[in-house]
């Protein structure tokens, strides 16, 4: 089952998320940084929306995706996930070495590990 979305779906989500980040930074006392965050999100999304006919940009914005680009996306997502997990583990170890309890990094590492194990089990049963 394939869900079709308007080309405006992702840009509207990006702007909505940018507004949430802006609101959070405003509440935190830094509305200037909130505007910068909103501007960056809107600019990147506009680049993807109006960025021309490049195959890479078309794939990033969601149109023109074929099996090859889906594979590239899966590999890029896995690599990004590994980078984040490694950074979380390193940050947790640094916090432990400083005499702290490792949080919030320990929680993030636990979420990553549990998600990975659950996915392995689910994909193994389904496949």
The predicted-structure confidence for 6-16, as pLDDT tens digits, reads as follows 777 778 888 89
Q: Which domain holds residue 3?
A: 1-65
Cβ contacts of residue 69 below 8 Å, gap of 6+? Answer: 59
Same domain, 31 and 58: yes
- Looking at the predicted structure, is the pLDDT value of residue 118 above 80? yes
Query: What's the whole-model pTM score?
Result: 0.69
- Looking at the predicted structure, is the pLDDT value of residue 34 above 70? yes
Same domain, 127 and 94: yes
CA angle, 63 then 64 then 70, to 5°: 95
Nearest Cα neighbor of 34 from 20, 47, 48 is: 20
Exposure on the CB side of residue 44, measured as CA atoms within 13 A: 12
How many structural domains does the chain have?
A: 2
- Give the model confidence (pLDDT) of 60-112 as tens digits: 766 656 788 888 889 999 999 999 999 999 999 999 999 999 999 999 999 99
Same domain, 118 and 78: yes
Residue 104 confidence (pLDDT):
93
Confidence of residue 2 (pLDDT cuts 50, 70, 90): low
Peptide bond into 104 cis (omega under 30): yes
Nearest Cα neighbor of 63 from 1, 12, 6 is: 6
């Amino acid at each position: 089952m394939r869900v079709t979305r308007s080309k405006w779906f992702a840009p509207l989500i990006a702007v909505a998320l940018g507004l949430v980040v802006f609101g959070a930074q405003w509440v935190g006392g830094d509305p200037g940084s909130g505007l910068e965050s909103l501007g960056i999100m809107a600019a990147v999304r506009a680049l993807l929306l109006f960025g021309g006919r490049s195959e890479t940009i078309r794939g990033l914005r969601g149109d023109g995706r074929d099996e090859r680009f889906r594979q590239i996306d899966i590999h890029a997502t896995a690599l990004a996930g590994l980078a984040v997990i490694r950074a979380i583990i390193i940050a947790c170890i640094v916090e432990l070495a400083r005499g702290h309890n490792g949080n919030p990094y320990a929680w993030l590492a636990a979420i990553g590990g549990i998600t990975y194990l659950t996915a392995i089990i689910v994909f193994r049963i389904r496949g």
